[in-house]
Chains A and B, each alone.
Chain A
């Protein structure tokens, strides 16, 4: 990319601040786990007039938390000096996948919530003892999670899948 096409420095700085503002928003069902770490943030576009366009993707369509998340993101971004407006859009592509969940978020889901994250067809392991888990029900309290039991310690484990 030639230098002429790079955005001006102040827009890049603003973009970095917008990114950290979006990162400060937690999933409403997992306090302490950022939506960015869950892989929901797809794009940030800053206009020359200081408007921020945030592109998010949802884990599952029809997720009831979408409106709340969009409100929280808008509030966090609009509070930044230099931002003249914020528009959050739920993108229909790319599709969210569990491999978008960061290592930090995965560790936090395991440690704080006893929730495991299933990656592809790999067997899920128990957050407490590390043994394999067995699926009991395809659906748990939300569409993005199934319910397993641990074959080792017997713990009831929810598994985020996708």
Chain B
């Protein structure tokens, strides 16, 4: 494959025509500033979420029951940090913030990361619910971006990330089957986890997309939030019910005419709090991440000292 020469567009409407015709933007193209800013912000949010997700996963390495699950958690931790690393590289190439600046902003509580990482995973049941429900929600959102993403480097990285997240889903399903078919105590633990994580997982998709959503207009995302959310509800309600678990949504009902599940009204206040970094576990999460960053400063200093690093 030969990469095309850097391109430029005479107006936003020319650029949008290019996007509407399936054009893919590459880093050296003279893309409009608004597009650059929107793509950057989106990738930075994704990178931050992988980074905070890796830290959450890492917390569970010593606490995970059984060697097989433990191996999977160790590998998943590496996956999440690896994804964050790749995404930070792609984001930094856009020339808005350096990688270090993005990490510093994240750990100073100045940046956003996904709502689900503002809650604490308190039991193994929570970890199973996260691997099963939350990862599925995150994967659905990423697939919707990948399907038609107009920014080339992000699209290519997403292809690999999605394959790996798909593999996490299989591990999550395996964990869910084990706990669902386990003892009464394990089932109670999982029911509690569904009660605690159902709403944050649903809120991960965000409120209904606005008609003029720029992410949709510029083919960064390809599907509306409410469509993705609804698809997730259609999949997980019957699945959890078939294992005898209940969904903590009093408004949830089956609409016979439409032949589908309809969720009750969603309270968006908790989501807004996580956006402002004042969710239930935000302070502890950011505080811990920032203390790791400080305590590992000597490693970065050593790596930046050529005479200490043999090649």
Contact = CB atoms under 8 A, between A and B. Distances in A.
Interface stretch (A82-90, A96-104, A116-124, A142-150): A142-150
Interface string B1-24: 111000000000000000000000
Contact of A136 (B3, B89, B171): B89
Given A68-B167, A129-B1, A158-B160, A141 B89 contact: no
Q: How large is the interface on B (under 10, 10 to 19, 20 to 34, 35 or more residues)?
A: 20 to 34
Nearest to A113: B160
Interface residues of A, number: 32
Contacts of B28: 154
A114 B160 CA distance: 8
A105 B88 CA distance: 28
B85 A147 contact: yes
B79 interface: yes
Interface stretch (B69-77, B220-228, B243-251): B69-77
A63 interface: yes
B32 interface: no
Contacts of A156: 86, 89-90, 93, 153, 157
A64 B74 contact: yes
B170 interface: yes
A51 to B, nearest CB: 25
A128 B167 contact: no
A37 to B, nearest CB: 16
Interface string B31-58: 0000000000000000000000000000
Nearest to A115: B160
A113 B85 contact: no
Interface stretch (A15-23, A27-35, A38-46, A73-81): A27-35
Interface of B: 1-3, 27-28, 68, 71-72, 74-76, 78-79, 81-83, 85-86, 89-90, 93, 153, 156-157, 159-161, 163-164, 166-167, 170-171
